[in-house]
Amino acid sequence: NAGVTQTPKFQVLKTGQSMTLQCAQDMNHNSMYWYRQDPGMGLRLIYYSASEGTTDKGEVPNGYNVSRLNKREFSLRLESAAPSQTSVYFCASSEAAVGLSNQPQHFGDGTRLSIL
């Protein structure tokens, strides 16, 4: 059972470089999410997509862009990486949809990103 798959698992970037983090889910879920996790800060929502073709900002969207490529895939792009974006990034998906919004989220194992 693959569930939510994130690539790459690790990456080191230099300040100013760009990068796209990939996420794919095989559970036919409607909603997908990107979080970052920093020590003492918990998980903070960057962007989410409630359905194919829609995206919305979360708590900390600045410096990021997203694309919901199709129902399975949701990518996160850093256009010009900054050291403050060093973090662990998690993708999640859920069955949540219009009229069925209160559903648990299922997470991938993360991408560990360091920006020097």
Partner 1 sequence: QKEVEQDPGPLSVPEGAIVSLNCTYSNSAFQYFMWYRQYSRKGPELLMYTYSSGNKEDGRFTAQVDKSSKYISLFIRDSQPSDSATYLCAWGSSYKLIFGSGTRLLVRP
Binding site for partner 1 (CB under 8 A): 4, 31, 40-43, 45, 48, 50, 58, 90, 92, 94, 96, 101-102, 104-110
CB 104 within 8 Å of CB 43: no
The nearest distance, CB 8 to partner 1, in angstroms, is 14
Put residue 63 in one of left, alpha, beta given phi > 0 → left and psi -120 to 50 → alpha: left
Class of residue 2 by CB neighbours under 10 A (exposed 0-12, middle 13-18, buried 19+): exposed
Bridge partner residues of 100 (DSSP): 97
- CB of 108: closest distance to partner 1 in angstroms? 5
Q: How far is the CB of 11 from partner 1 (least distance, A)?
A: 15
With respect to partner 1, which residue has the nearer C-beta, 73 or 107? 107
58 or 61, CB closer to partner 1?
58
Minimal distance, residue 24 CB to partner 1, in Å = 14
Q: Which is nearer to partner 1, 54 or 70 (CB)?
A: 54
Name the nearest CA neighbour of 93 among 41, 42, 35. Answer: 35
